[in-house]
Each structure stands twice: as C-alpha cells, then as structure tokens.
Amino acid sequence: MNDKHISSQFDAELGSISTRVLEMGGLVEAQVGQAVYALTHLSHETAGQVLAAEERVNAMEVEIDNDLWTIIARRQPTARDLRLLVAIAKAIANLERAGDEAARIARTVQRLINAGVSSRLRLPLEDLGYESTLAITQLRKSLDAFARLDIEKALEVLKTDDQIDQEFEGLMRKLVTYMMEDPRTISASIDLVFVAKAIERVGDHAKNLAEAVIYVVKGMDVRHNTVESVEAMVR
Amino acid sequence: MVTDTLERPAAATAAVHKAEVRNLSFYYGDFKAIKGVSMAIEEHKVTALIGPSGCGKSTLLRCFNRMHDLYPGNRYDGEIILKPDNVNILAKDVDPIEVRMRIGMVFQKPNPFPKSIYENVAYGLRVRGLRNRTELDDRVEAALKGGALWEEVKNRLQDVAFALSGGQQQRLCIARALATDPELLLFDEPTSALDPMATGSIEDLIHSIKQKVTILIVTHNMQQAARVSDYTAYMYVGDLVEFGATNDIFMKPKRKETEDYITGRFG
C-alpha cells in the first residue's frame, strides 16, 4: 500500500502523534513495572516515583488529545487515517487508565508500608509479581502491535488475556487461604485483592489497545467477541 | 458474532433504481473516455462521482442528458436505462430534447439567462406550453421555494438575474431546473465557484430536494461527496473502480486504489 500522503506535512503530523502515543505507552509500561517492583520489594521510594510519573502521563493524554482534534479539524481524515486517529483516542484513554492502576498500586504499597507490613509477613507477593509480568507483557505486545499495526501481535494479546484472568482467580483463592491461616494478614490481603484487580485491569487495557489495532487495520469492531470468532473474522 | 460497525443493515425495502448504466463506453473520436461502466442510480438518493481530473466522471454525467451529441465524432456504446419506463436514453431514436425534459442539469458556474428572475424559472414552463398566468406564478413560486430562494427574491422577481450573488444565481439555476419537475437532476461541480456559505446552502438544498428528485453529482471536493451523497462512485481513467454506500467508501473502502485516493495518497 502507498503509505505516503500527497501532503508530506500530513504524514509528519500522523507520524508525530503515533510516536507520542508510543512514548506515552512506554511511560505507562515503566510505571506499571515500577509499581510492581515497589510492591514486591515494599519500596516506599519507588512507589513515590510511580506517583510522580502519573502527572506526566495525564499531561501527555491531554496534549495528544489536543493534537488529535487539531488534525481532525484541519485534515478531515477519512478511511484508515480516520480509523487510526479514532484508535489513538481510544489507546491514550486506555493507557491513561492503566497508569491510574499503577498509581493505585503505588498508593496501596505506601499504605501497606505505613501500616507496618514488612517482608517478614507471609504474603503471596511473588504470585502478584507473576500476574503483573503477564500484564506488562500484554501491554508491551499491544504497543508493539500498535507501532507496527500488526494484526498477529494484536491477536496474541487477545489470546493471552485469559491467562491473566486465571491468574487473578488463583490469587484470590490463595489470598483467602492466607487469611484463614493467619488472621494477621487479613488487612494486607484485602489490599492485595485490590492490587491483583488493578493488575488484571492493566491487562484489560492492553486488550482494548489490541482491539483498536485490529480496528485500524481491518475496519472491524471486534469488541465483545470470543477470541475464536475474532480470529476467524480477521483472517 | 463479529460485527462490522461500518456496515449498516440493508433497508427493509428493496432499493428502487431510477436509472441503470449498462456497460457504457464513451468515445471522444478515437479516445475512449469511459470504459464499460455499469452502475445503478437509486431513486431519491444522491449519488456522487469522484475521481481525479480526466477520470471520466464529468463525461459520464454528461451522457445522462446527451450533451455529447452537440459535438461530431462523439460516440456512445452501451445503455443508460431510465426507469420506470425502461427507455435507453442513449438510443439514436430517442430525442435528446425529450431526455432533457426528464433530466435537468446544473453547471459549475451559475448560468442564468439574461432575463428576469421570474422569467428564468418560467422559461422552461413556457417552452412546455404553459401559458396560464396564475399557474405560471404558482409554479415559479414553488420552484423558487424548492430552490430555497423565494424569501430572498419574492419582492424583486422582475430584477435581472445577474443582480443576484453567485450563490443565489446557482440556487436560481437549481430552481429553474426544478420548475419542470425533472426525474433526475445532474450537478456538475455545482459549488466550485462558490464561497463556503453559499456552498453550505446548496448542499442543504441538495439534501432537501432529494425527496422529489434523484440526484447525480460530480465533485472534486471529496468532503462534499462525503457530506451530501448516499452513494459514491470512484472513477479512474475511465473505469469505475469502486461504487458503494458513501459510509463504506469513506470509512472502509474495499479497494486499495479508492483508499489511496480518498485519504490523499493518490499520486
């Protein structure tokens, strides 16, 4: 396909906005990673860094939004250009919310530390680490899919989403066991339930991003469908 | 089920065709300007023809009222069937004047007759033998109302038409075309000589008159095609590349060539 517009300025605008989405994605990915590090290492300092990054992520969302409106107003994009811009609007909203989840985790970590939770208390932090590795991988893959408008990569993200959900359920059972065995962990475990949910949501945002990639490339809205039917449709 | 948001469910009622182009080719002497185009024009809808200069869109439009007959050496091949009576308007035994009675045309530059506003609209009616003054008055008023011009000219009907602004002149030409109740109205770049305000009022007018008349419009302005039309045909060097619902063409065209053109990648 001919990728260049007659107006090279339009190409430059689209290129610039896509780059900034990826930059924002990188920032959010790092934020989630740091939040998980703060959790598994009970690091007050790293949690603080996550919260500091939130402001930057929010500002980026506003800036990219503003650029989007400008391009739409001035270029009146159609077809895949229009789909790309609509997808960017969705992508940045999802990234911003993934960033919010990272901040939520960071605040929980600070609260846990302030409440005197230490690594001596037996908690399934390792398992949360595994769930978050899955979520971060999903986020990275969906950003890769977005960068290259790669349908296969987007499909991979959709297929893997189930794993995070299963991991989340496993964690719930584990946390209940911990609470029954040692009632001193109840308070912290309840916090971890919310952390696990936040990580699971990061995975959901990654999935939304992957669906947006399919929308750009194929012009198909594949939300609310089983992975099998999506696969059948896009191939 | 996976849904394709860009496609809308088909209307419950079957589409009624106002005209059918069947394997139409057109030659300017030896030059083949249209290469076997087939398409159906749906009744009471706006169909837009888009494409780069020289793609044949204006040539195709002009076939509809036999304008090419005016020059020797021009040749039609194929048919344009006008419904509901299934007459092939390109047939040699069909009088072009008869065709033009049923199919009106509005041009790029407003071309009112050097007569009064009233006479511009009444002219076609008089040619058709209408003499009764009261009836003429009524038909002129109705046509000017149809052309969204009545309120602006009702007190100056005897003024010469050239006293009107460009946008008003174009609406007068539309009113003039509407006066004789055509079945199909052809627009050849109707707003390219007008400012955005006048363009907006013409587009609004196109939207309102399609209840009465089927419309075929050629435009260089793709956003205009997107705004006013129900169906869009993309042509390139005499071929009909893609023809479909305007929503599909502008959101998810099936052909790469169409997508490249409407997104400005054509080159």
| Residue numbers in A near B2 (CB within 8 A) | 220, 222, 225, 229-230, 232-233
Q: Give the one of A2, A83, A233 whose C-beta lies nearest to B2's C-beta.
A: A233
DSSP state of B38: E
Instruction: Report the pLDDT value the prediction gives residue A68, as an integer from 0 to 100.
Output: 95
Distance from CA of A100 to the nearest CA of B (A): 30
Instruction: Report the pLDDT value the prediction gives residue B120, as an integer from 0 to 100.
Output: 96
The residues with which B218 forms a beta bridge, in sequence order, are B49, B188
**Mean pLDDT confidence for A48-69:** 96
Residue B14, pLDDT > 90, answer no
CATH fold of A8-234 reads Methane Monooxygenase Hydroxylase; Chain G, domain 1 (1.20.58)
Report the alpha-carbon distance of residue B194 to residue B184 in Å, rounded: 23
User: B9 pLDDT band (50/70/90 cuts)?
Assistant: very low
Residue A80 sits at the chain B interface (C-beta within 8 Å): yes
User: B3 pLDDT band (50/70/90 cuts)?
Assistant: very low
Q: Is B2 in contact with A77 (Cβ distance < 8 A)?
A: no
B212 and B236 in contact (C-beta within 8 Å)? no
How much of chain B exceeds pLDDT 70, in percent? Answer: 94
Instruction: Report the pLDDT value the prediction gives residue B114, as an integer from 0 to 100.
Output: 96
- Residue A3 is encoded by which pair of tokens? 């990728």
* Helix, coil or strand: residue B150: helix
User: B7 pLDDT band (50/70/90 cuts)?
Assistant: very low
How much of chain B exceeds pLDDT 90, in percent? Answer: 85
Residue B112, pLDDT > 80, answer yes
> Which residue, chain included where needed, has tokens 């009545």?
B150
Instruction: Report the pLDDT value the prediction gives residue A36, as an integer from 0 to 100.
Output: 94
What does the domain layout of chain A look like in residue ranges?
8-234
Residue A25 sits at the chain B interface (C-beta within 8 Å): no
Residue A93, pLDDT > 70, answer yes
Domains of chain B plus CATH, in order, are: 17-262 (3.40.50.300)
Per residue in B137-149, pLDDT (tens digit) is: 999 999 999 999 9
- Residue B15 is encoded by which pair of tokens? 């589409």
Instruction: Report the pLDDT value the prediction gives residue B267, as an integer from 0 to 100.
Output: 58
> Which residue, chain included where needed, has tokens 């539309």?
B174
Give, for B165, the enclosing helix (H) or strand (E): none
**Mean pLDDT confidence for A200-214:** 97
Instruction: Report the pLDDT value the prediction gives residue B21, as an integer from 0 to 100.
Output: 97
Q: Is B253 in contact with A79 (Cβ distance < 8 A)?
A: yes
Task: Sheet with B74-82: list strands edge to edge.
Answer: B31-42, B17-28, B74-82, B87-88
Residue A10 sits at the chain B interface (C-beta within 8 Å): yes
Cα distances from A231 to residues A47, A152, A159, in angstroms, run 39, 9, 9
Per residue in A140-196, pLDDT (tens digit) is: 999 999 999 999 999 999 999 999 999 999 999 999 999 999 998 898 999 999 999
Per residue in B52-68, pLDDT (tens digit) is: 999 999 999 999 999 99
In single-letter form, the type of residue at position A207 comes to K
User: B71 pLDDT band (50/70/90 cuts)?
Assistant: confident
Helix B133-146 and helix B117-127, axial crossing angle in degrees, nearest 10: 120
Per residue in B188-206, pLDDT (tens digit) is: 999 998 889 889 989 999 9
A92 and A63 in contact (C-beta within 8 Å)? no
Residue B11, pLDDT > 70, answer no
Q: Is B2 in contact with A6 (Cβ distance < 8 A)?
A: no
Residue B210, pLDDT > 70, answer yes
Task: Sheet with B214-218: list strands edge to edge.
Answer: B103-106, B184-188, B214-218, B46-50, B231-236, B239-245
Instruction: Report the pLDDT value the prediction gives residue B70, as an integer from 0 to 100.
Output: 85
DSSP state of B10: P
Instruction: Report the pLDDT value the prediction gives residue A1, as an integer from 0 to 100.
Output: 42
Task: Report yes or no on whether pTM surpasses 0.80.
Answer: yes
Query: pLDDT averaged over chain B?
Result: 92
Report ipTM (2 d.p.).
0.75
Residue B6, pLDDT > 50, answer no
- Residue B142 is encoded by which pair of tokens? 């109705």
Residue of chain B minimizing CA distance to A81: B263
Instruction: Report the pLDDT value the prediction gives residue B19, as an integer from 0 to 100.
Output: 97
